[in-house]
Amino acid sequence: MLKNIPSIISPELLKVLMEMGHGDELVIGDGNFPAASTNERVIRLDGHGVPEIFSAILSLFPLDKYTDNAFLMEKVPGDAVETPIWKEYEKLAKEGDPNFKGFKFIERYAFYDRARKSYAIVATGETALYANILIKKGVVL
């Protein structure tokens, strides 16, 4: 056990966050995200939702202040599903890091391509649709 580390952050996730350098990207995928077929480095946090994981990660993980640093997978054109979770993400990001610049949106297949190049994917049990986040690591000052 360590002090001041949120209990939802597993030892494996803590190791990955520590290994990541400035500019590396991390995906937090919802329960439908094809994590295992997209990236070899997958941290499983089944049974947890993206908001609680995102909040915990932001308590340790600095967002890149020099560029766009947070991205969401945009809805497929014509899909009428509601995405109230995005508002929750925005609130958490604003509270969690002063470098948050607002979310940019990435088309679904472009998001998958970017996830392939990401440092790691955190696989969750999140049931909300379009609940995938990609964040870019900054520096600790």
Catalytic site positions: 22, 64, 112
Q: Which residues pair with 63 in a beta bridge?
A: 137
Max CA separation in the chain (angstroms): 47
Give the whole-angstrom CA distance, residue 71 versus residue 134. Answer: 5
Backbone angles phi, psi at 79, to 5 degrees: -80, 120
Question: 95-110: b or e for each residue (b if 16 or more CB lie within 10 Å)?
Answer: ebbebbeebeebeeee
Give the whole-angstrom CA distance, residue 107 versus residue 133. Answer: 12
Give the whole-angstrom CA distance, residue 87 versus residue 59. Answer: 19
